[in-house]
Structure 1
Amino acid sequence: MKQHLYLLFFIINFQIVSAQVFTQETIQNNGDNDKRLNLVILSEGYQSTEFAKFKTDAITYTNTIFSTPPFSEYANFFNVHIIYVPSAESGADHPGTGSTYYETNFPIPTTDVDTYFNATFDSFDLHYLLFYEIDENYANNTELKINSVLTDNFPTYDQALILVNSPYYGGSGGEFPMASTDPAGQQVAIHEIGHSFFNLKDEYYPGDIHVGEAINMSAESNITAVKWKNWIGTNAIDVHLNGTTSAGEKWYKPANGSCKMEVLSQSFCSVCKEGMIEKFHDLISPLEKYSPNNTTVNNPEFPINFDLTLIKPNPNTLESSWILNGNAFASNVDGVTIVEPDLNTGINTLTTVIHDNTALLKIDNHETTHISTVTWTINQSTLGLETIESLSDYFKILMYPNPASDSINLKFESEATEMITVDIISVDGRKIVSKTLSNLNTSTLDISTLSSGIYLANFYSKNVLLASKKLVKE
């Protein structure tokens, strides 16, 4: 579920940045902020007389971002807000000290302007690197200013982007990606958000200090063991060399020249898209609200309507199953109606289980599965309906490695459930082994004695099937 990022004031070099509130505006609104991912765009190098231009530029950037897969499919998961931060002068600094290749091909006039976040070309001696300050030594104080602006104006942001009023090619990543208004800047921003929000690595070799295990980078080259093994052979995904460190260690990537993390004009590769969608689901549930909700309903009357409001991808890939007293009742609908003959005398349980079945996730072998549930407890006596109580939950279920030879690791995280059960089922439907899992704890299941082949791992909460995942025993 979404984790709000409440920023705290902090002191660097004994300096405290005072609170300052700026005008803000929402330019993409898909629902309540606490039920959405919030992208906040800050103006830099825009004078107050240029704020209309900033809004236009920010809308252009937003439209481009959310026409890019997988943002386009999951645009409903996002709100976008802009904060009008005034600069005394327009543009960005360009001291003219950067590398000559890009200076020749992308010339920028030498300038020194007074802007709020001190956006600077030639940062780290790279002509096109547009960063807040010239290098890391000066950046701390500006990071304090950025954090202060976000704290004072939109503390629950999920990702911030600094849009610089400069027509020249440039940008940078890091915690707060920055991009210019150059026509290519929109693609630069999307690439840099790939770093900042999703921890994607460059798929051109980024240099020894920037390598490491990530969604789209690994030191593993074995196609049966690499983390994106389930995508190999699909959409040109393979194990491609990404470079060699000075120590001789080799690093690999899933795509070769066909991913936005390598070439700006390309789409994100399948592996990156999967990791991005995983992040979306890590932060928010697609269940926005439901009815009857968390309060007890006394003396209801038939028929009873049970309804869901879902945050749906486009096209909609959410699937739902409805279970009444342990029996399938409906599927892939946003609401059901219960009439008196549907219920038993006593306590009845209606549960809906919602998950995303997008083809952009390799469900069978994907390590993590996210499930939203709502359970209504309906008390039906001989005198009629007495009460309806409800409880929602959001599960994150992990199973790895897969394929496996000796053992698998199992873990789940839940907001309201302490125990679930996993059953390992053979292809002929026999239950081979069953294990109880406790919330937040990793359990190891020994499968060394099982015959090689394909099994199902079924995960249950109070006899309701949450997820069914294919397990490959080597």
Structure 2
Amino acid sequence: MKALLPALLAAALLATAASAQPAPITLVENGPRAERINVAVVAEGYREADLDAFQAAAGRLIDALFATAPYDRYAAFFNAYAVPTVSAEAGADRPARSEARDTYLSATFGCGGVHRSLCLGGDGERRLNALLRDALPEYDVALVLVNDAEYGGSGGRVAVVSAHAAAAEIAVHEMGHTLAGLADEYGGGAAAGFASRNTATDAHPAHVPWSAWLDDATPLPTPDDAAHGHVVGAFEGAAYADHGAYRPERHCRMRALGHGFCAVCNEHHIGAIYDRVSPIAAAWPAESDVTAGAGRLAFRVDALVPAGQARYEWTVDGVTVGTSAALALDAGDLPPGASHVEVRVTDATDEVRDSTLVPLLSDVRAWTVTRPAATAAESGAGGADTATRLGLAAPNPVRHAARLPFRLAEGGAVRLSVYDALGREVAVLVDGERPAGLHEATWSAGALAAGVYVVRLEAPGATATQVVTVAR
């Protein structure tokens, strides 16, 4: 029991010190913390009088991050907060020069024997964890900003960057380590390299992790010249080794500042984002169990996916019935009992090719829709409504495109077509075999003149029509 007391006392002191620090400041807030990646920019080596300068510098780092691809397109997936701490002195330790500073997180240059490697020394990381558990327990990524003008930084469990003039560039590079799990791609000596997501020790196409990006016309190893400046290959020099280690592209931010992320590092960032945040921001109805009464059921989903990249697939009992962000169902289109309604939202970006990452780009919302058995008044003596029917067009009037749901009592040859007021066929939406059940077609009416049109469904044993107005 006595042996536990020092540890318990130390933990209590750390918690007390953390709670005594100033409260976090919101820099960017795009949604609930539980549904976003929360970046905590934490002050280190800032005295009380320096906290305004820290907040301004933290804002610049976040602005630079969200101006960099792919963060610029995925900014809505993030929140960012400045977390002030107060240190007795400014700067960081420099053991090689026997210089020590009294700072809150014990930042020090010279980590791993490399002077520019700036990290948290002593119990700094433990103090950081205690601070964030108290001040911002929902944080996902910690980026420590050190009030020291000398060039330095590091990445890993925690990203650390100095207040050097290139701080923003350094911070984005270190986020490549901390968020996306990437390795450094620069050389530096004769030491053996290592394999990682973005480095390889063998240039054979079967042995590089980014084989999905390789073109048969690209030589491996790939010549490090201007002719191959914008291709994915296997360039020698990576993972701190000048020879025997390979990187995906000639230039990349993980090799040198001043460049964007290569295609492979870019896709791992996107994968890391979707590993933490769903592409679905919200879905309606909010309840997962829905009772179908008379009339129309409305379903909708909001996606976080960048503009133009979202793909939607709505299914009812496994049958695809829609491909837009919303779905309307007539209660009569559903059989009595329970039906399973599901929407899958996918980011259809071509920037992700790694087969282990692609599944992360999709998510599903589902509802159980129960339709009570039809009454005699609703369906006559014959029982439940299982007839072939043409559902209501949505929207109607239509300006650009309309969704046309239909239900088939039995499978077979189906033709869904559109006629103008003179009886001329102007569009064929479906012409072929379809199984029994729910379906949906999309009518693109943007090129048609304003007026009244007739939609005609021809199916086994049934014909149905509906008037739709095109408005301009």
Q: 2:359 aligns with which of 369, 372, 377?
A: 369
Distance 2:246 2:8 in 1: 41
Q: Does 1:89 align with 2:82?
A: no
- CA deviations 1:245-293 (Å, max 9, x no partner) are 99x993221112x100001111010011111111112222112221122
Per-residue deviation, 1:76: 0.9
Distance 1:349 1:116 in 2: 55
Q: Does 1:149 align with 2:140?
A: no
Does the aligned pair in 1 maintain the 2:42–2:85 contact within 8 Å? yes
Does the aligned pair in 2 maintain the 1:39–1:159 contact within 8 Å? yes
Distance 1:10 1:227 in 2: 49
SS of structure 1 residue aligned to 2:14:
coil
- CA deviations 1:96-141 (Å, max 9, x no partner) are 63xxxxxxxxxxxx964322112233444434332223xxxxx3x2
Q: Does 1:346 align with 2:345?
A: no
Per-residue deviation, 1:360: 0.8
Per-residue deviation, 1:347: 3.0
SS of structure 2 residue aligned to 1:53:
helix
For residue 240 of structure 1, what is the aligned residue in structure 2? 235
Q: 1:131 aligns with which of 108, 112, 119?
A: 119
Tell me the TM-score normalised to structure 1 length.
0.68
Q: Does 1:323 align with 2:315?
A: yes
For residue 303 of structure 2, what is the aligned residue in structure 1? 310
Distance 2:201 2:191 in 1: 14
Q: Does 1:167 align with 2:163?
A: no
- CA deviations 1:295-322 (Å, max 9, x no partner) are 5345645222111122222x34121111
Distance 2:57 2:239 in 1: 39
| Number of aligned positions between the proteins | 354
Tell me the TM-score normalised to structure 2 length.
0.68
Per-residue deviation, 1:64: 0.4
- CA deviations 1:182-208 (Å, max 9, x no partner) are 221111111112112222111112678
Between stretches 224-233 and 74-83, larger displacement belongs to 224-233
Does the aligned pair in 2 maintain the 1:219–1:249 contact within 8 Å? no
For residue 64 of structure 2, what is the aligned residue in structure 1? 64
Per-residue deviation, 1:152: 1.9
Q: Which amino acid aligns with 1:250?
A: G
Change (3 A) 1:245 1:161: closer
- CA deviations 1:399-448 (Å, max 9, x no partner) are xxxxxxxxxxxxxxxxxxxxxxxxxxxxxxxxxxxxxxxxxxxxxxxxxx
Q: 1:268 aligns with which of 245, 261, 286?
A: 261
Q: Does 1:252 align with 2:252?
A: no
> Over the residues paired in the alignment, what is the CA RMSD in angstroms?
3.1
Q: Which amino acid aligns with 1:18?
A: L
Per-residue deviation, 1:220: 2.9
Distance 2:153 2:6 in 1: 27
For residue 118 of structure 1, what is the aligned residue in structure 2? 106
Q: 1:18 aligns with which of 14, 17, 23?
A: 14
- CA deviations 1:368-420 (Å, max 9, x no partner) are 42331122222222148xxxxxxxxxxxxxxxxxxxxxxxxxxxxxxxxxxxx
Per-residue deviation, 1:222: 1.0
For residue 456 of structure 1, what is the aligned residue in structure 2? none
Between stretches 365-374 and 39-48, larger displacement belongs to 365-374
For residue 471 of structure 1, what is the aligned residue in structure 2? none
Does the aligned pair in 2 maintain the 1:201–1:211 contact within 8 Å? no
Distance 1:346 1:69 in 2: 48
For residue 52 of structure 2, what is the aligned residue in structure 1? 52
Does the aligned pair in 2 maintain the 1:244–1:250 contact within 8 Å? no
Q: Does 1:228 align with 2:241?
A: no
For residue 36 of structure 1, what is the aligned residue in structure 2? 36
Distance 2:40 2:190 in 1: 31
Change (3 A) 1:212 1:113: same
For residue 185 of structure 2, what is the aligned residue in structure 1? 203
Pairing of 1:449-464 with structure 2 (within 5 A)? none
SS of structure 1 residue aligned to 2:194:
coil
Q: Does 1:379 align with 2:370?
A: yes
Does the aligned pair in 1 maintain the 2:190–2:243 contact within 8 Å? no
Distance 1:223 1:285 in 2: 32
Distance 2:204 2:276 in 1: 31
Change (3 A) 1:125 1:308: same
SS of structure 2 residue aligned to 1:18:
helix
For residue 472 of structure 1, what is the aligned residue in structure 2? none
The answer for unaligned runs of 5 or more in structure 1 is: 1-8, 98-109, 134-138, 385-474
Does the aligned pair in 2 maintain the 1:325–1:349 contact within 8 Å? yes
Q: Does 1:213 align with 2:206?
A: no
Distance 2:70 2:193 in 1: 24
Per-residue deviation, 1:224: 4.1
Pairing of 1:172-191 with structure 2 (within 5 A)? 172-191=154-173
Does the aligned pair in 1 maintain the 2:305–2:347 contact within 8 Å? no
Does the aligned pair in 1 maintain the 2:313–2:343 contact within 8 Å? yes
For residue 287 of structure 2, what is the aligned residue in structure 1? 294
For residue 175 of structure 2, what is the aligned residue in structure 1? 193
Larger radius of gyration: 2
Distance 1:115 1:177 in 2: 17
Distance 2:34 2:239 in 1: 43
Distance 1:63 1:127 in 2: 28
Does the aligned pair in 1 maintain the 2:290–2:370 contact within 8 Å? no
Distance 1:64 1:367 in 2: 26
Q: Which amino acid aligns with 1:216?
A: N
Q: Which amino acid aligns with 1:113?
A: R
Q: Which amino acid aligns with 1:324?
A: V
- CA deviations 1:343-373 (Å, max 9, x no partner) are 233333322111111111127x566423311
SS of structure 1 residue aligned to 2:264:
helix
Distance 1:298 1:245 in 2: 61
SS of structure 2 residue aligned to 1:39:
strand
Distance 1:340 1:191 in 2: 54
